[in-house]
Structure 1
């Protein structure tokens, strides 16, 4: 009798505990549906989306200014500015392509995830955003103001590229590089001060003291010089930059014997720069424990190299842009900043040799496949 009396309260206790547990689950489940934990809290806009949106606004404002300048007398030359060819038709075309590439994906809201060529998942937004650019008017739009605005936009795009996610970073770096070169081109045509660009001085990060043995760290994992790897990862991107710099050094060494005195002096200076870049790229390989191509005794040069070495060097510099753009997308921190500087540096050398890099240095974007701009945005 006593035994049965003891078991009854224990059974009753288990039943009560079970009922309470089921009730708690029911309350939590219903509460999660009826009262969301984030109710009333605005959704944070990812930094990559904010940077893309600001780049679009700035580029559309620049496009409006360029279109306005192009339609004014003497190409917008103000008092004290030389009235020479404006060169703005190319600027309008370039900025139009960039604005189309910066448009959000169809149906995408401002707070949604960015989708750019080679895109990646965005990071949380950082505080602070640029104010909308004021509308361009004949009284405020001059050549000097336009070059300054173009250079400022380029600097902002390159700075944001250092923080954005992979694909967005690559697009912003390409747009910023192109805008910087366009500002320099127009300043030269118009006889204005060329905007300063503080690139090319970022040292490669210090490599690690040693690397553990990693799978795939063999000669077969290293891309053959002159070819690109089908792998899309950081080690492959570093190896591609190393290979590109090795070829550049060989080409510049050969070109020194074929160029005139002035061009040869420029080539000698840039040969030293490529040797510095190669050391930096090899240091990145050690930093990231990535296999890199060994240095070769020689490389196959274009058939046109003997007759037009300068043009051949320009084409070679342009072809190296893809490797640097890929490294921008696949890296972060100091490595990405080094890659951004390398991208700008290579684009400037390419243009100096007479090879234009277009609106997206290092990216393969079919302008015909880009979405159209809204009708309110100026277009060529």
Structure 2
């Protein structure tokens, strides 16, 4: 039996030459097609684990995104559907005829394509974030080996849209509201004005709804009586024939005019008087006028003890002038002296020093009761020394008079030191001497008159800064009565000023020139020991 020619050997013609080989048909693949990359960017090498899922046509159905983060950080959602595999193209078997066998064989060429194995088209479940990729199957490794040299198939990266970061809009510049700025400035000015006015207002402690205070009532009554006295002084001055009495009446009219202004009342025009005052002045004489003047003086001195604030000094100043003026008129007219609790001056008993202060405090700075009483004690200490020096230069009876008045000043110094001790303030220490003006040895009477005039001012300050006497619940000095000491000191010092030849002021204790309102300090200083 002759073997049939092998399909691999070419046939020979009878001449012995090899015949050109006939076109052999392309053998059909009995297995699935090899997977190929889709058209697009070239494959890139990636170190990330990959999982290849093939469809029925041998294409990659799902590939992990290389550019996406690891499954632990962010897991891409699995595709809802897997695209269907493209149909397998059939090989055209008609273009090349099958070779004819030289001999009959019982073997038939299988021209039918092997049935394509069914591939599950459902998408593979998404990989778990915390598990490693499944190993490739033997079929996948074989297809990867047929594709060429080993290279990681990296699918084209997919761009993940990133939402743009919203930038905050620039804050709109606030436009200043001019109206509100003006209003705020106006309110600020009003607040400052209220604070300033409130700081400068003297609170009397009385309810305005309850009516005027006792001080205001006394002030109004004093003003009305002063206007009547002014009309009587002018009427008596016009009817008087004695020149000395006429001069005292004129002096009284001028003083009453200033006191009317000090009592916060309008100044009457020269020669004019209120209708009621003009009617009361009809038929007045010098004697009756002196009696009315002394009565009003005692009323003002009593009101000075209970008046609040600076009005106590005003009442005391006007009362002192009227009392001393009434006394001068009575002496000139030959009438008995007016009755008063302040004249003549007498030595007062000094209270026992029963104050039990644990510590001595310093006087309050500025205008206060502490500073006023300390200044009064220092002035009395200087007066004691001045009377000792000036009295030795005076002949009799001036020498004896100086010694007696010096004892009164020493008594006042003891009273003031007792008040300082009770108020836990340092007492005035004894001084060996003071530096005095040359007039105390050359003109002792005039020097002592000037000294007493200075003491009137010191006691006037004490009357202004000391609390009210009767019924006062806010008295800084409970005992002795500082206001009573101040009023008595004003009357006595003004009286001694007249005795030494000094003038009688219209308002003793109130400086005629500009004053800062502070306590009067002695002009002389203690001499060095």
Bigger relative CO (Cα 8 Å, ≥ 6 apart): 1
**Which residue number in structure 1 is paired with residue 382 of structure 2?**
247
CA drift of 1:203 comes to: 4.8
Secondary structure, counterpart of 1:305 in structure 2 = helix
**Which residue number in structure 2 is paired with residue 350 of structure 1?**
497
**Which residue number in structure 2 is paired with residue 298 of structure 1?**
433
- Asked if 1:92 corresponds to 2:92, the answer is no
CA drift of 1:98 comes to: 0.6
**Which residue number in structure 2 is paired with residue 323 of structure 1?**
458
Segments of 4+ in structure 1 off by > 6 A? Answer: none
- Asked if 1:136 corresponds to 2:280, the answer is yes
CA displacement 1:128-166 (0-9 Å, x = unmatched): xxxx98943443x11111111111111000000101102
**Which residue number in structure 2 is paired with residue 67 of structure 1?**
234
Pick one of 181, 199, 223 that aligns with 2:324. Answer: 181
CA drift of 1:234 comes to: 1.4
CA drift of 1:357 comes to: 3.8
**Which residue number in structure 1 is paired with residue 362 of structure 2?**
216
- Asked if 1:284 corresponds to 2:405, the answer is no
Q: Write the distance in 2 (CA, Å) between the matches of 1:339 and 1:86.
A: 30
CA displacement 1:241-267 (0-9 Å, x = unmatched): 111111111111112211111111211
Question: Quick check: 2:293–2:323 contact (8 Å CA) kept in 1?
Answer: yes
Question: Quick check: 1:328–1:339 contact (8 Å CA) kept in 2?
Answer: yes
Pick one of 337, 342, 349 that aligns with 2:484. Answer: 337
Q: Write the distance in 2 (CA, Å) between the matches of 1:283 and 1:83.
A: 44
Q: 1:168 to 1:206 in 2, by over 3 A?
A: farther
Q: 1:83 to 1:363 in 2, by over 3 A?
A: closer
Higher helix share: 1
TM-score (norm 1): 0.69
Q: 1:181 to 1:73 in 2, by over 3 A?
A: closer
CA drift of 1:329 comes to: 1.8
Bigger Rg, which one: 2
Q: Write the distance in 2 (CA, Å) between the matches of 1:281 and 1:169.
A: 19
TM-score (norm 2): 0.50
Q: 1:167 to 1:187 in 2, by over 3 A?
A: same
CA drift of 1:303 comes to: 2.0
Q: Which runs of 5+ in 1 are unaligned?
A: 1-40, 76-81, 107-131, 222-229, 368-380
Matches within 5 A, 1:141-156: 141-156=284-299
**Which residue number in structure 2 is paired with residue 27 of structure 1?**
none
Secondary structure, counterpart of 2:407 in structure 1 = helix
Q: 1:214 to 1:266 in 2, by over 3 A?
A: closer
Q: Write the distance in 2 (CA, Å) between the matches of 1:204 and 1:65.
A: 42
Pick one of 242, 255, 260 that aligns with 2:395. Answer: 260
Question: Quick check: 2:391–2:444 contact (8 Å CA) kept in 1?
Answer: no
Secondary structure, counterpart of 2:508 in structure 1 = coil
**Which residue number in structure 2 is paired with residue 370 of structure 1?**
none
Report the RMSD for the aligned CA atoms in angstroms.
2.6
Q: Write the distance in 2 (CA, Å) between the matches of 1:168 and 1:93.
A: 21
- Asked if 1:314 corresponds to 2:449, the answer is yes
Matches within 5 A, 1:48-59: 48-59=215-226
